Structure 1
């Protein structure tokens, strides 16, 4: 019997669709935002203007990912301004040969560098480069200012549709996010007595929910003027859940299930927060605690109930915004933050590295299409722009998914272009195609590409009237762009994997050492807020490391193989943080604290592991000797065991 042929793991991970709910409001907005400009253009006999506005609407649909209304303003409006600059610069050098190559390459460098600042800057850099490429490769109708105005107007139409419900639902997304965090914490308490894998997965969900909630509320504070009582209360309710999260590892170590009334009480608090009914908190009906872990959970839960019922004072103990300049978590002045971001972009090696990689790929693409006649040549650079986004996933996997998604989208586009005549029939067809973009985007990049491709080709056909003749150039240009990105943006930078992941993991291990030192030193004992902020930052950083590893797992050997070998160490560091938190809870509830010698020993072992990771390319080069120190039944025994397990991974994964 011949051996069974199975696809490699990295390919399976790359092609596996992600589970995510369908954003129905965004689906409805996409249908209206892309079809309405076409209808307006047809009604006024300016169909090309309508197509340009629909292109701007497409960029708005892609950026329509935020829940909070103020975040939607940032996610959609700010990138549209950068897109207007991009289309203006591109149109200015249209048809000018090598000057156009130089301008687009310079824009690519700037786009890549600002993309490393954050999510909004990333989308802004994306639209800056995308529109510059379109302007340099496609003649724009009318005066120089008309195309930027039309495309920006199309994007702002998406924003207008997104803000229609703001007067009725102001603050609802933030309340829903905080309530969702409470529900995830309830799941964590239920999983406290389960196996380590189930508990770890639930804790990861809690970290993600906390990150999202803090991001939404703190971003809204950045746009609020003066003291906003609603934001103060939401921040206080979110901070109040932190002691419950800290008590969960102690309950997990005990291995004894908590009474069902405990997670039920947390869900009850979530319902009252989501409905904004503090008077409904009432009595929680909690059982009498019977141990240090259950006492910690009981104390934290009663404190959260006081805050949710608004009987207690607002709780600002655990504010975790890195940019706070007061104890209410109010972000620093935008001027200061802008200067800090600019300094980071100009001085960051990561920023320059990515900017140069993107500029190299775009420059090669523009030079190639200037020498070799390629129809619709701007699609080559557009493909590279999407594939090379650093925060969107692995370059290799995105190139594979881009090629496959384009091929799948062309099948649907062929049916549309061959059967639908240009004119009013384009409007209902667009109303059916546009919703596929927000519906399929959460499933993965390949699905998003398959949804965007027929929309782009339909708009291109309206502008150029080439019908199915657009299909082959689209596929050819996409394959060329993917090839350039793979060679110049991936294969020529073999050290990028270790720079992106190995160094970040080493930093996380070093931060874990600082956390152990803070938790059991004079500073941690005197100021629990310092300890809480450090733990939250550490969990946030670990979630970023975990996301980077999951991206690396989709890459072929040797990168994917190295990521798979290092993956257990990521889990081990998370367990060290959990064990440290649990030990601190035990000390707070009467257990004898560890000796300074024992703390110093554990901290030293972690820092030595961090140094080994920074100097290692493969995992088995990490030194893993772990001497005995401290009382074997002391409060740090679980921490010592987790540190020993983390260091032993280096030996276990040897050649």
Structure 2
């Protein structure tokens, strides 16, 4: 009997290249402190520094050098604060339980702000748990100082190549987006499935490029010429991406010279040079869609050929100009304090941590802090399914203990620990992209080796580590997963409903009165739509790893995910056709299609699974009308539901 599909998806390793530079940094950052500690006869100090370096290695995920400062340095400060709080209540019984539980609440709430805040909240709680459960060497200030030193060592190693490679990651990201757009134009007019998969890859690449470039530009206050030029080059892709659906709907493949021209621009962007020959030999366009592609591509080539100073008057990206840091900080603080989701997750994490700390206070559990550490990792809101992470945590810990058993039993503490750490540390960045079980398997022997340096217990650490991890997984599954109703419901329906509602607003903007046709605003709306659809796909993939009935409910939404993506594509193509000579739709047709989209949105919001709807669409309008493909896609989406009444209303949530 084959294993269930959700289990196969959970255990399947992800494909990813080996980050050789990050692996080398990890090897040096974790082994060097041990060597220095041995040389200075402070081996335990070296182990604490290595613990801080381990946190930095796990957080060393940013490509842009400026972002590495935030991704590594800021979480390390929170981690140091966590150690201070934890060491102050070490051995204090119920006071330690209260303090750690309160820190868990704060950690969970700030983790919902964003990526850097998530890692900061993680290290705040992790180090507080470690400080409350493990005796630290020296005075109260020494342990946080040593941990900060380890994190700063990773940061220093990560920034060594900045003078030579500054701007290279950003250019590579923009060039990669151009190559993915070339693939999209190559797929236009061919197989629908191939085109859809390529468009998804384009959206993901564009999201990553904008996030990377804009994050650095925000730190540079938008006045760095190279970064402004990269934003302009990304913005130049917007007309190309708007023209691609129209070209695909024509059903005629584009000339191979068109994607070749985009790839030529990509090579120029990656090399940091200009190009003036990309659009020189383009074929003469035929029809509105081909003209749209030709005009958009020539504009992108013209942007890539500009020399000298960048144009600072056009630096707003297609998601809008980023707000000042202090404005975003106020918004984040307000969002944390007023958000129901933030409070729910914070209370959920605090409840699990409180139960774990209370349990180990009542029952003698060796190395009891590992229980809370396991819960902290498993319950991270942005790390994927709680159920699958608990399963992968248990499997990864078991695999890591096999390696740790060999290390602790055969390698004597001392100088042999240094080369062993040099071999184990690179496995963390190398295996982390493969999946959570692989990351856990790589981290476990490193953690146990450092713990053995601090406690000198050898293989006696193995069984408590496995027992505590299983206890933590059990608490996270029961208290943090099974007892919460939201764990049993997918959010795909609500997110799809929001996307369809925003599509209705996009239709109104794209085909409304002349005064409403703001090109930049319309482009931002379109970018948000495709970004939201990308997030929906990610949520769908996450839900598929849940056990029944969650996974089956999520799978039933798949036809509607595809249908909504086709609606957005059809709307974009209609806008392009009007912009290149097709008759615009009447106000009545725009209003009718917009109303149908909003009705579909409300139906999706109230439904769990849609199977068949027979609704009265009224006058379908002219079959040659520019919005007819949109109307057909809306009808196809509505045809995936079950009628529950004479009006064809959609089923309510079960």
TM-score, shorter chain, exceeding 0.5: yes
Matches within 5 A, 1:38-53: 38-53=34-49
Deviates more, 1:258-267 or 1:278-287: 278-287
Q: Does residue 620 of structure 1 match 2:610?
A: yes
Give distance in 2, aligned partners of 1:117 and 1:478: 28
Q: Does residue 75 of structure 1 match 2:71?
A: yes
Give distance in 2, aligned partners of 1:647 and 1:36: 62
Matches within 5 A, 1:639-654: 639-651=630-642
- What do residues 336-357 of structure 1 show as CA deviations (whole Å, max 9, x unaligned)? 1111110001111111111111
Cα pair 2:276 2:302 within 8 Å, conserved: no
For the residue of structure 2 that corresponds to 1:257, the secondary structure is: coil
Give distance in 2, aligned partners of 1:272 and 1:550: 35
Matched residues, number:
644
Deviates more, 1:94-103 or 1:520-529: 520-529
Give distance in 2, aligned partners of 1:523 and 1:497: 46
Match of 2:485 among 494, 497, 508: 494
Deviates more, 1:115-124 or 1:281-290: 281-290
Match of 1:229 among 204, 225, 240: 225
Change (3 A) 1:138 1:311: closer
Cα pair 2:235 2:318 within 8 Å, conserved: no
Q: Does residue 249 of structure 1 match 2:239?
A: no
Give distance in 2, aligned partners of 1:49 and 1:443: 32
- What do residues 89-133 of structure 1 show as CA deviations (whole Å, max 9, x unaligned)? 011111111111111111111111111111111111111111111
| Counterpart for residue 368 of structure 1 | 359
For the residue of structure 1 that corresponds to 2:407, the secondary structure is: helix
Change (3 A) 1:498 1:570: same
Cα pair 1:236 1:315 within 8 Å, conserved: no
1:279 positional shift: 4.7
Cα pair 2:289 2:576 within 8 Å, conserved: yes
Cα pair 1:515 1:535 within 8 Å, conserved: yes
Cα pair 1:597 1:630 within 8 Å, conserved: no
| Counterpart for residue 217 of structure 1 | 213
Cα pair 1:104 1:133 within 8 Å, conserved: yes
1:544 positional shift: 1.2
Change (3 A) 1:147 1:641: same
Give distance in 2, aligned partners of 1:451 and 1:114: 27
Change (3 A) 1:318 1:13: farther
1:75 positional shift: 0.6
Give distance in 2, aligned partners of 1:417 and 1:234: 50
- What do residues 180-225 of structure 1 show as CA deviations (whole Å, max 9, x unaligned)? 1100100110111222211111111111111111111111112114
Give distance in 1, aligned partners of 2:437 and 2:127: 22
- What do residues 77-97 of structure 1 show as CA deviations (whole Å, max 9, x unaligned)? 110011011111011111111
- What do residues 459-518 of structure 1 show as CA deviations (whole Å, max 9, x unaligned)? 111111111111111111111111101111111112245474332222122112211221
| Counterpart for residue 127 of structure 2 | 131
Give distance in 1, aligned partners of 2:464 and 2:301: 62
Give distance in 2, aligned partners of 1:456 and 1:512: 49
Change (3 A) 1:146 1:240: same
Q: Does residue 514 of structure 1 match 2:510?
A: no
1:226 positional shift: 6.3
| Counterpart for residue 478 of structure 1 | 469
Match of 1:378 among 369, 387, 395: 369
Please provide the CA RMSD for this pair: 1.9
Give distance in 2, aligned partners of 1:272 and 1:569: 39
Matches within 5 A, 1:219-618: 219-225=215-221, 227-279=223-275, 281=277, 284-310=280-306, 314=311, 319-320=316-317, 329=321, 331-498=322-489, 500-522=491-513, 526-616=517-607, 618=608
Give distance in 2, aligned partners of 1:108 and 1:623: 46
Change (3 A) 1:279 1:290: closer
Cα pair 1:289 1:295 within 8 Å, conserved: yes
| Counterpart for residue 34 of structure 1 | 30
- What do residues 6-42 of structure 1 show as CA deviations (whole Å, max 9, x unaligned)? 1111001000111111111111111111111111111
Deviates more, 1:640-649 or 1:175-184: 640-649
For the residue of structure 2 that corresponds to 1:67, the secondary structure is: coil
1:281 positional shift: 4.4
Cα pair 1:609 1:623 within 8 Å, conserved: no
1:45 positional shift: 0.7
Change (3 A) 1:500 1:126: farther
Unaligned runs of 5+ in 1: none
Cα pair 2:90 2:134 within 8 Å, conserved: yes
1:68 positional shift: 0.3
- What do residues 587-639 of structure 1 show as CA deviations (whole Å, max 9, x unaligned)? 101111112222222211221222222233x2138966252422222111111
Cα pair 1:236 1:316 within 8 Å, conserved: no
Unaligned runs of 5+ in 2: 644-649
Change (3 A) 1:194 1:524: farther
Give distance in 2, aligned partners of 1:620 and 1:290: 40
1:299 positional shift: 0.4
Cα pair 1:594 1:634 within 8 Å, conserved: yes
Deviates more, 1:6-15 or 1:624-633: 624-633
TM (norm. structure 1) is 0.95
Change (3 A) 1:423 1:88: same
| Counterpart for residue 196 of structure 1 | 192
| Counterpart for residue 157 of structure 2 | 161
Deviates more, 1:427-436 or 1:499-508: 499-508
